[in-house]
Structure 1
Amino acid sequence: MPKQIYFLAVLLWAGVIAFSCLVQLNNVPLGDVSNLDKLVHVFFHFVLTMLCFLFFQKQANAVNSLKPIIVSFLVSVFFGIGIEIAQELLTATRHADVFDVLANLSGAILGVAFIILLDLKTKFR
């Protein structure tokens, strides 16, 4: 796939995250799952890390380099921190939450672990 497709996917997913985190969603029925919003944060940043990795790997043309993994992780984590700051400073209905940042970090870590496991699996085939 061309790298522009991956870049577009990253931008669209980042837009979904930003919209979901900055708009008031009190009327959305979420069920009775405890801490569901934290699981959503984990999922958001797992996917963001994966999409960023696909883009940066294609960008660097590096199959076995750690750089795309590290950059993808950092983009996801700092984007999540930026969203939390924006919630606190730019919205009246949302507030920054350190546990959201930890959930974002967890999602990014899971994304990196998944990338590494896939890489190991393909090396041992």
Structure 2
Amino acid sequence: MLRRIKNLLKDKLLLIAIVITIVVLGLSLIKMPETGVTVANIDKVYHSFAYFTLTIVWLLSFYKTPQKKHLVTLSCIFFGIIIEVLQTVLTNYRTGDILDVFANSLGSLLALFVFSMIFKKKQIN
């Protein structure tokens, strides 16, 4: 079963990574509806999750070149910084936030850690 999933995704990981990047960009720049329910700083969890997902998919798309994993992670962090700047410059309903940059970076670094642990374990076996 896992082999079938791997074969299915093998040639599509780059496309999936591009689509997720576009989705993160879009969600970061559109006006989000008000839900009426507020939880303090829950958006930081969303940011971390989004950038964990973004980074892990990009890392998986470059899994054959693991020496690029730090470059991929730094690129995702830089992408998050650019988006925070774009929120301030392009929109009047979103604002860039340094805490969002930290949450994005935390998600990306966590993805790097998880990716490294998975492939470290795989290399041992």
TM-score (norm 2): 0.84
Provide the residue aligned with 2:53 in structure 1.
Answer: 47
SS at match of 1:66: helix
TM-score (norm 1): 0.84
Provide the residue aligned with 2:40 in structure 1.
Answer: 34
Stretches of structure 2 that go unaligned for 5 or more consecutive residues are 1-9
Amino acid at match of 2:23: V
Q: Give, in angstroms, the shift of residue 32 of structure 1.
A: 4.2
Measured in 2, the distance between the counterparts of 1:77 and 1:54 equals 16
Q: Give, in angstroms, the shift of residue 44 of structure 1.
A: 0.7
Amino acid at match of 1:120: K
2:112 matches 1:106: no
Measured in 1, the distance between the counterparts of 2:95 and 2:38 equals 22
Q: Following TM superposition, where does structure 1 have runs of at least 4 consecutive aligned residues deviating by more than 4 angstroms?
A: none
Provide the residue aligned with 1:19 in structure 2.
Answer: 26
Measured in 2, the distance between the counterparts of 1:10 and 1:28 equals 29
2:67 matches 1:66: yes
Measured in 1, the distance between the counterparts of 2:55 and 2:48 equals 11
* Residues matched between the structures, number: 116
SS at match of 2:62: helix
Measured in 2, the distance between the counterparts of 1:52 and 1:74 equals 11
Amino acid at match of 1:66: Q
